[in-house]
Amino acid sequence: MKKVDHIGIAVRDLNAVLPYYTDTLGLPLIKVEEVESQKVRVAFIDAGNVKLELLEPMDDESAIFKFLEKKGEGIHHIAFGVVNIEQRMEELRESGVQLLNDKPKPGAGGAMVAFLHPKSSNGVLYELCEKE
């Protein structure tokens, strides 16, 4: 793993929470985008050494919708930057880690992403993310 790239935070209403981050906490907004493959609208916030990814569900099929229903707003996942995602996935599989994707999927910011099941990561949903 290179380092933590971002921390994912589930929110019900992106526009409603953004001023807390940008005005109250005074953190710069990097960008807002829709990630069709994950059915989420996301905002990336620059928190210095790490980014915060605020995730709003686009519909009730989104994993974030289900998370909000069960657990409410809060920290959803931690994403590690990796250099070669396919290789890293294979190594983790060989170590007995359960992956939630067979292959990497397109994620936010043009990255390729894959998730590790929280059941095989001691209760934490981890994401691997490879950027060009």
| 11-19, 20-28, 70-78, 88-96 -> range binding ligand CMX (CB under 6 A) | 70-78
Which residues in the 23-42 window bind ligand CMX by CB under 6 A? Answer: 35, 38, 40
Residue 84 DSSP SS3? coil
Q: Which of 21, 67, 92, 128 touches ligand CMX (CB under 6 A)?
A: 67
- Between CA 101 and CA 107, with CA 104 as vertex, the angle to 5 degrees is 105
> Would you report the helix, strand and coil content of the chain in percent, each value rounded to 5?
30, 40, 35
Which residues in the 112-131 window bind ligand CMX by CB under 6 A? Answer: 115, 117-118, 123-125
Terminal Cα distance for the chain, rounded: 15
Cβ count near 71 (within 10 Å): 11
Residues engaged in binding ligand CMX (CB under 6 A) = 8, 35, 38, 40, 53, 55, 63-64, 66-67, 70, 76-77, 100, 107-108, 115, 117-118, 123-125
